Structure 1
Amino acid sequence: MATAGGGWEEEQHGCRGSRLQADESFCSWECLVFTLQWPGGFCQSLNNESLCRIPEDVKGWTIHGLWPQTRTSCRCWPLFPSDIQELQDELEDQWPSLLKTRTSFTFWKEEWEKHGSTAACVEGLNSPLRYFQVCLKLRAQMDIQRLLEAASITPSCDQPYQVEDVKKALVPVVGHLAEVQCVKDEQGRQVWFQVKVPLSRSLITGCTSHAEEGRRFSETPGLDSSASPGHPCPPDTPLYFVPIDHQRPYRPCG
């Protein structure tokens, strides 16, 4: 049960928010990564085309997660529907599950227990409600769809785009260190999949600790063998920004 200070009952869950704050193994990270995914590209990342679903009301970029960049994970603070009940409608719109085998709440639960609970040593993220509120606020601030449209970068089955042009269009809201990720489709084309935005603990774009050490920003470094198949889009290869097709999510281009 969450307390007013953002902790939780030690008797029920075995640890407190203050313990997270004091535990260096959970709190030594410097950067977080906020990741947005393009549903049309996400479906191309799946080996089984029957798994993908795009809810009818999803028309644009959705949240994938907010991940502290650390090789440790708390996984010690469960999520319950009542924790985020007041945000459910907004989360369904901005952070839906795109897998038929996973409900949206299951998706949120996985992200909180794997990443949010580890981020909880930062005061502004120290409860499920605050973590998801921050993610929604970041999504609203990072209106990359508006920037892309202003740069005439719109979904298309036939029009390729240069990676440098895409990055340039996004700089005003994601900064210079954001990673544009692709996956390969069945035709071997580079298909735009995600944008990973490095943030400091104070949620300012441009955290450089990973960049300076030459590491890639990742979801669960060293923890999850089912990591995303996404990779940085090759700078010398055009990328495709495929449309969203709610009826044929895996094959938007036929």
Structure 2
Amino acid sequence: MYAKKFVACFLTLLNFDFVQPTVLKEDHPFDLVIFTQFWPQTVCKEWKEHNPSHTCAMPAKKDSWTIHGVWPTKLGTKTPAFCNRTWLFDPEEVRPIEKDLLAMWPNIEVESAYTLWAHEWNKHGTCAAVLEPLNSQLKYFQQGLTWLQKYFIYDILKEANIVPSDNKEYRIEDIYQAVLKNVSVRPAIECDREHGGNFIVEVRLCFSKKLELVDCDGIAFHDMEEYGSILTNCNPNSGVYYLENAVPKTVYVQLYKLLSWLQWFTL
């Protein structure tokens, strides 16, 4: 009997609950929900640059943009996050859609998809759950899949003749206008700007709490600024690469030119 009382007290102190928690009110207010798509080739490039031994789990379809996350967001900040630390990701909750998640919401950087899904649910999903359409793990991840199919960035860019290439540069204005024309709201576009280059890595679309498309004005992620009408961190004075391969031929060409210049300079 005493042992049972001890265990009960211990669990209470740790704030554990064996009953699946239910969000009853919005204790962590937010303004909108950001839906973010990755371009896997750039994600993989960044991952390999951090450590040459890194490998990537690329989607089966080479032209697939994939989901990064569904993020409740208060304008001007990166909050809220981790709204219920006792409501942890459970793979069994998303088992009915696991096949689709593996195809459209894979973890590019490591082999285990569960790592990414757990992070996204624990950090963002527990906050999104105050909205009835997102109030379970299955609903949360299913909404991401639904949005990807409806607003697939590859198809949106292709309509504007913007397709992956290791050698061609695109204007950020053209990429922005292609998305704006399709969805009729202002997106946010993120580039990987390491080594002075512009490599498109993410496109973000924003939704109201009623899950209706809205402008992304006011979101605060990765030093984004407004360049004219464009919300982006990409350098507007340089072209943007939309990589066809994670290690583009362009990189080898630029490296060769740099080595040749260094050899000439040191003679």
TM-score when normalising by structure 2: 0.74
Give the structure with the higher percent helix.
Answer: 2
- Checking the alignment, whether the CA contact within 8 Å between 1:33 and 1:217 is kept in structure 2 is no
**Structure 2: 5+ residue runs without aligned partners?**
1-15, 223-231, 253-267
Distance in structure 1 (CA, Å) of the matches to 2:55 and 2:193: 16
CA drift of 1:204 comes to 1.4
RMSD over aligned CA atoms reads: 2.1
Q: For residue 103 of structure 2, what is the aligned residue in structure 1?
A: 93
| Residue equivalent to 1:64 | 68
Q: Give 5+ residue unaligned stretches, structure 1.
A: 1-9, 219-230
Deviation at 1:54, TM superposition (A): 3.5
Number of residue equivalences: 217
Aligned mates of 1:207, 1:25 — CA distance in 2:
25
Alignment of 1:10-29 (within 5 A): 11-12=17-18, 16-17=21-22, 20-22=23-25, 24-26=26-28, 28-29=29-30
Residue 44 (structure 2) aligns with: 43
* Residues 1:53 and 2:53 aligned together: no
Shift of 1:146: 1.5
**Structure 1 residue 169 and structure 2 residue 172: aligned?**
no
**1:200 equivalent in alignment to 2:208:** yes
> Does the aligned pair in 2 maintain the 1:81–1:105 contact within 8 Å?
yes
2:133 aligned with 1:133, yes or no? no
Deviations 1:45-81 (A, max 9, x none): 3322432413351421000000011423313311212
Q: What is the one-letter code of the residue matched to 2:35?
A: F
What aligned pairs does 1:184-195 form with structure 2 within 5 A after superposition?
Answer: 184-186=193-195, 188-195=196-203
State whether structure 2 residue 248 is matched by structure 1 residue 252. Answer: yes
Larger mean CA deviation between 233-242 and 60-69 belongs to 233-242
Shift of 1:234: 2.3
Bigger relative CO (Cα 8 Å, ≥ 6 apart): 1
Q: Distance in 1 between matches of 2:86 and 2:17?
A: 13
For 1:193 and 1:52, how far apart are their aligned partners in 2? Answer: 18
1:238 — aligned with what?
239
Structure 1 ranges of 4+ moved more than 3 A: 172-176
Cα distance 1:161–1:132, how it changes in 2: closer, same or farther (>3 A)?
same
Seq. identity, %: 29
1:180 Cα shift? 1.0
The 2-side partners of 1:182 and 1:198 are apart by 18
The code of the aligned residue for 1:160 comes to E
